[in-house]
Amino acid sequence: MAAEDTSLTESLLRRDRWIVLGGLVALTLLSWAYILAGAGTGMSVRDTTIVSLFPHRMAEMPMAGMSMSMQPGMWSLGYFIIVLFMWWVMMIAMMTPSAAPMILLYAHATRHSQATGQLRQGVVPTAAFAGGYLMVWLGFSLLAATLQWGLERSGVVSAMMLASTSAGVSAAVLVLAGLYQLSPLKHICLRHCRAPAEFLSRHWRPGTPGALRMGLQHGAFCVGCCWVLMALLFVGGIMNVLWIAALAILVLLEKVAPHGAWLSRAAGVVLLAWGAATVVV
C-alpha cells in the first residue's frame, strides 16, 4: 500500500506542471467571467465600457436599476465588501497570466526538491506561493476600494460610469503613470518580475511557510511594478473591460516579451503625451 501511495504521489508530481497550469487558467477564466457578469455590483459592463481617448468628456447617463448603494457617498459596508472583492478578482484576472511563469518555475523547483529528498512530498507549497502572491494584491485592492469610495464621494469619479469626470485628475494620473514607467524603481521591480530563476535563487525558503513568504515577496515586487498602471482604471473606467484587457496585455508583455523593459519605457512616453493631450483638449 505504501509503495502504491508513493507511486501515485510521484505520478502527480510528474504532472504538476499541467496541474498548476490548469489551475491558473481556470482561475483566470473564472475571474474574467465574474467581471463580465458585473462583479456583483449590479452594473452592466456594456454600460460601463466606453471607447474614448478622453473618457472624462463622456456625459454621465443614468443607468436603469441603479440602487442607492451605488450613489456617491452612500456606500454600505456590504457594498464596500463587494467593491473590494471586485478589485481583487480584477487583479487576479489581470495579473495571474503574467505571474504564471514564476509560479510554474516554483512548482518545478519544488518538484526537484521533493525528488531529491530536500522537501517533503506534496503540492501545498505551490498553492502557498500563489496564495501569498494574491494576498498582496488583496491588500492593494483594499487601498483601491477605499480610494474609489473617496473619489466617488468627492465627485471626481462617476458613481455610474466608474471613471474620472475631471480632466485635471485624468491628466495627473496619466502623467504620474508615464513618469513612473520611466523611473528606476519601476525597472528595479520589473527586473525581479522578468527573472523568475534569479528571484527564486535569491529568495528561496523551504517548506510551506517559506513558500508563503516568497509569494508575498514576489507579490510586493509585482505591485511595485504595476500599481500605477492599475491606477489608470480610475481614468478609463474601473469596470471598462477594454481598459482592463489592454492593461492586462501591457503588463503581460512587460514581463514576458523579449524587449519588455523597452516596451515599458515606450508606454511611459505615450502616457506622458496622453496626459498632456488630456489637458489641451
Residue that wins the pLDDT comparison between 177 and 165: 177
What pLDDT, on the 0 to 100 scale, is given for residue 280? 84
DSSP type of residue 178: H
What pLDDT, on the 0 to 100 scale, is given for residue 66? 46
Residue that wins the pLDDT comparison between 13 and 232: 232
User: How many residues are recorded in the chain?
Assistant: 281
Cα 198 to Cα 36: distance, rounded to the nearest angstrom: 36
Domain with 259 in it: 2-52+75-280
What pLDDT, on the 0 to 100 scale, is given for residue 281? 78
Which range, of 68-77, 95-104, 115-124, 212-221, averages the lowest pLDDT?
Answer: 115-124
Domain for residue 253, yes or no?
Answer: yes
Q: Using one digit for the tens of pLDDT, what is the confidence trace for 65-86? A: 444 444 555 789 999 999 999 9
Across the chain, mean pLDDT equals 86
Domain for residue 67, yes or no?
Answer: no
Domain for residue 64, yes or no?
Answer: no
pTM assigned to the model: 0.87
Domain for residue 150, yes or no?
Answer: yes
Q: CA Rg, the chain, in Å?
A: 21
Q: What band does 263 get if pLDDT is binned at 50, 70 and 90?
A: very high
On whether the CB atoms of residues 161 and 81 are closer than 8 A, the answer is no
Cα 120 to Cα 241: distance, rounded to the nearest angstrom: 43
What pLDDT, on the 0 to 100 scale, is given for residue 92? 97
Q: From residue 50, give the alpha-carbon distance in Å to each of 53, 84, 175.
A: 10, 23, 21
β-partners of residue 164 are: 157
Domain for residue 60, yes or no?
Answer: no
Which range, of 122-126, 179-183, 247-251, 255-259, averages the lowest pLDDT?
Answer: 122-126
Q: How many domains does the chain have?
A: 1
| 26 has pLDDT over 50 | yes
**Percent with pLDDT over 90 in the chain:** 64
What pLDDT, on the 0 to 100 scale, is given for residue 20? 82
3-state secondary structure of 157: strand
Count the alpha carbons within 13 Å of 85 in the hemisphere toward its beta carbon.
13
Domain for residue 135, yes or no?
Answer: yes
